[in-house]
Amino acid sequence: MDDEKRDFVSIDDLGNEEILGLFRLADAYDEDLRAWASQCTGSILATLFFEPSTRTRLSFESAMQRLGGSIISANDGEVMSAAKGESLADTVRVVGGRYADIIVLRHPHEGAARVASRFADVPVINGGDGAHEHPTQTLCDLYTLWKEKGRIDGIEVLLAGDLKYSRTVHSLAYALARFGASLVCVPFPGLEIPKSVLERMQRDWGADVTRGEFSDISGLTPGKDAVYVTPHKPHQESLFTQITPPAREKIDAIYMTRLQKERLERDLDSKDYPSIDSEFLKETRFRDTRVMHPLPRVDEISYDLDQDPRAIYFRQAALGVPIRMALLAFLLGVVKLDAPLPERSSRPVYRSDAGINCANPACVTNGEGHRYLAPEFTILRDSPPLLRCVYCDLEVSPSLVGHVASKKLHRGNAAEAKRILPERRVYFEDEGQADSAGFGTGATS
């Protein structure tokens, strides 16, 4: 593993200045897409898709070839050596050996791209890891907003539809919070944005979250509950402050999402799922609103809107090519950006050889990687302990903390637990787990 290689597993792997640098580079590419066919000549991109995603794959393959590079592609999980029992770690070590100079990975297990980035000798780009992240979609969404509105900080973005299961919406929400945009979340009832997403926006970027009523808009939502996220405000005591803000005067963009039918609860009645059409956009506050959608759409955006200049979802998809060109050229080291590296997290990391596991069944540590990966967590808070899986980002609250040498066990919120140095701590889910690791329950404080 090369210390200097850069990966793009999460949007946080790039600094704000780097992201803006990529936007400017993408603009240069976009002026004449056919003019760059010798920039990455001789370089090879491997697209390893363990689950299908034709659009993502094609946009990367287009971007790499527009730069003059070549493609090797394995786009059928069943066909991959996985069928012969090969681990992802081995696959990326081979492909990142002499085969390819950069890898895009799509994998059903959450955190799989992080695993790949650790084992491959070449840069790894996350092309979607389960329901976890899809950072190039987010990069493309941000780039589109930046191009359309000239900036991201200070703009107002309305997120609508399925805010619970849409991976792209969560990643976009974090990125908007980070760049200082305001959000209005207007979910379809039952598909509200998860509390953990809001908490993270508060914790990591100091966003201010308030709950209110969204003035009714025909067709947008049968419910009226909205969540407002405002950047860089002092941390609130409670998660939601129950005020009713005025309906926003001016919405810069609506980000519409399709219903993730494959993940839907059985008893959710989706017949009133919103659909945006020309009629909808007639309100004054939408006069300058851009309608975005990660595509594919089903029925949530009417075909009659396609000719409206505010409907930019096809333009948004198209911009996926130049921004991916910029990302590839940067990670391959062909283009340098005059920007500082992103700040590394200063939070301590806990590696669990014997203790707590990630509680997310879709996490790569419980799936593909369980044979060779130890669970690993960022320690967000000491007491009561709060950990975040470094692979899938799920937050877990271990109930017990032990001392690696004395094997003494304490409740997570006990004073004794807090006094153990982070590197000497062992976290446990429960006494049974501690017991099998030889930590004495009798000693629990």
Contacting positions for a copy of itself (CB under 8 A): 30, 33-37, 41-44, 46, 52, 54-55, 58-59, 61-62, 65-66, 70-72, 74-76, 79-81, 83-86, 89-91, 93-95, 97-101, 258, 295-298, 303, 314-315, 317-322, 371-372
Least distance CB 266 / a copy of itself (angstroms) = 20
Cα within 13 Å of Cα(150), Cβ side:
0
Q: How far is CA 350 from the centre of its chain?
A: 22
Pairing mode of beta strands 182-187, 208-213:
unpaired
To a copy of itself, the closest distance from the beta carbon of 296 in angstroms equals: 3
CA distance linking residue 241 with residue 237, whole number of Å: 9
Q: Which is nearer to a copy of itself, 59 or 117 (CB)?
A: 59
Q: How far apart are CA 117 and CA 125, in angstroms?
A: 8
Residue (207 or 311) nearer to a copy of itself, CB: 311
Query: 415 and 426 in contact (C-beta within 8 Å)?
Result: no
- Cα gap 377→113, rounded to integer Å: 16
Minimal distance, residue 231 CB to a copy of itself, in Å: 31
Output 121 or 204, the one with its CB closest to a copy of itself.
121
- Residue 424: both structure tokens together: 């000497």
Minimum CB distance to a copy of itself, residue 114 (Å): 18
For the stretch 93-111, what's the b/e string if a residue is b when 16 or more beta carbons lie within 10 angstroms of its beta carbon?
Answer: eebbeeebbbbbbbbbbbb
Smallest gap from residue 361 Cβ to a copy of itself (A): 23
Between 71 and 379, CB nearer to a copy of itself: 71
Q: Least distance in Å: CB of 81 to a copy of itself?
A: 5
Helix (H) or strand (E) holding 226: strand 225-230
Min separation Cβ 286 and a copy of itself, Å: 22
Nearest CB to a copy of itself, comparing residues 95 and 390: 95
CA–CA dist 45, 64 (Å, integer) = 7
Give kind and range of the element (H or E) at residue 201.
Answer: helix 195-205
| Cα(13)–Cα(92) distance, integer angstroms | 19
Comparing CB distances to a copy of itself, the nearer of 297 and 418 is 297
Between 93 and 381, name the residue whose CB sits nearer to a copy of itself.
93
